[in-house]
Amino acid sequence: MLHTAVYSNADATSVKRGVRMINQRKQVLIQDEITSTAGIQWRMHTNATVTTNGASATLVRDGKTMQVSILSPSGATFSTSEAKRFDTDPTPPAPDQENPGITVLIIALNAGTQNIQVLFNPQWDDGTQFKTPSGVALDDWSLTSHN
């Protein structure tokens, strides 16, 4: 689990991340619990082709498809952008390389305490049935908390 010390120079006062494989390792849940005094962005870089529809996104690459869903917070939606540095980012020691073909999948949220749950569902050839996991606080995760 990732903890706040990594973000000591940011506006976040608390950051926790959990990553869990569920449903016999056929799905992946990423959960972030963040308290921040400024707005935040959950961001994921991918070289897949991305289409968004509210709280869901479809990633396609090399004929393979992955469905991505925002489980929490309610009302959050995906957007996309090119993979570029923000004007407010610190200057790196060496110039950034271009990121051709890279798309950033984004969830923009207001300041405050946010519980972000994003579920990744690869579209398996065997027609795997997907499960929506229970909402469990990271501190309460256990070996059986998402069964």
pLDDT range class, residue 7, cuts 50, 70, 90: low
Sign of CA dihedral 85, 14, 56, 27: positive
Residue-level pLDDT at 46: 97
Are residues 77 and 54 in contact, defined by beta-carbon separation less than 8 angstroms? yes
Mean pLDDT, the chain, whole residue set: 90
The mean pLDDT value for 110-121 works out to 96
CATH tag, 4-88+97-125: 2.70.98.70
At 124 the pLDDT is 86
- Partnered with residue 134 across adjacent β-strands are none
Structure-block tokens of residue 41: 């962005």
Name residue 2's beta-bridge partners.
17
Evaluate whether 36 touches 44 at the Cβ level (below 8 Å).
no
The per-residue pLDDT for range 11-32, each reduced to its tens digit, is: 888 999 999 999 999 999 999 9
User: Which residues, in sequence order, are CB contacts of 22 under 8 Å at separation 6+?
Assistant: 28, 29, 131, 133, 146
pLDDT value of residue 9 = 55
Angle at 17 between CA 24 and CA 46, to 5 degrees: 75
Considering only residues 5 and 107, tell me which one the structure prediction assigns the higher pLDDT: 107
Domain spans of the chain, in order of start: 4-88+97-125
CA atoms within 13 A on the CB side of 71: 18
Structure pTM? Answer: 0.89
* pLDDT band for position 8 (cuts 50, 70, 90): low
